[in-house]
A = this chain, B = another copy of it.
Amino acid sequence: MSPTSDVAASHATEQEVEGVDNEAVTKNLVFVAAERLFALHGFQNVSVRDITAAAGVNLASVNYHFGSKDALLYEIFRRRTVELNRERAKKLHEATDRHHGSPPVRDILAALLTPPLKWLAPDHERRISLQFLIRARSEGTDEIRKVLQTDVTHLRRFSDALMRARPDLAPEDVYWRLHFTLGMLHNNRFAEFDRLNVLSEGTTSEADVEALLERMLAFAEAGFAA
């Protein structure tokens, strides 16, 4: 059912569909262009003009479709966060089922790290989204930082699971080690990879995300075992 398959269809319907589609298309163009530019250059270094120019839409589109530049940033952040955390929760759930209620540390960490690492792959559709999320965490608006601080229910699933896996550890040991693991994850920024590549003279390649995930899991699992 291509748009041209039935040109004789009612004119009114066609206009309606076109209108709705165009609006959705424009809004999405803005969303995607903004996410990309924010991820690459930082929120404050990208103007509404940059965004609309890159998206090939009108300057007023941002305010019309999202209300403000801040609100646009927030909407991107929310959508991608929900998306990422849903993947993580699904993997944690699967691991819990596999192990009849209490998966080992490695499986819990894998549920936490695999989704973002998959997003990091050079050809992955969400590659730029991950960079956006990492940036938003420290460069975002007050509203975003407020959400990050108060909404920790997502993380709690993982700390709870880790405590069940390691009941011998004091809770604060688990929290700190989870903090360290997240630090490793959030350091996966393009700029940091570039720096690492300079240091290693090109021998480290972040393109092989499977290998990188394995390295991170091994490092973090050993840290938890200590």
Contact = CB atoms under 8 A, between A and B. Distances in A.
Interface residues on A, range: 35 or more
Given A203-B175, A226-B219, A194 B149 contact: yes
Contacts of A223: 218-220, 222-223
Contacts of A184: 180, 183-184
Interface in A132-176: 135, 138-139, 145, 148-150, 152, 155-156, 159, 171-173, 175-176
Interface in A173-191: 173, 175-177, 179-180, 182-189, 191
Interface SS of chain A: helix
Given A184-B184, A189-B138, A171 B219 contact: no
B199 A156 contact: yes
A149 B198 contact: yes
A152 B216 contact: no
A175 B187 contact: no
Interface string A186-221: 111101101110111001100000001001101111
A225 interface: yes
Interface in A96-145: 135, 138-139, 145
B177 A219 contact: yes
13 contacts: A42-B139, A44-B45, A138-B189, A149-B195, A149-B198, A171-B203, A172-B203, A176-B212, A177-B219, A179-B187, A182-B187, A183-B184, A222-B226
Interface of A: 42, 44-45, 135, 138-139, 145, 148-150, 152, 155-156, 159, 171-173, 175-177, 179-180, 182-189, 191-192, 194-196, 198-200, 203-204, 212, 215-216, 218-223, 225-226
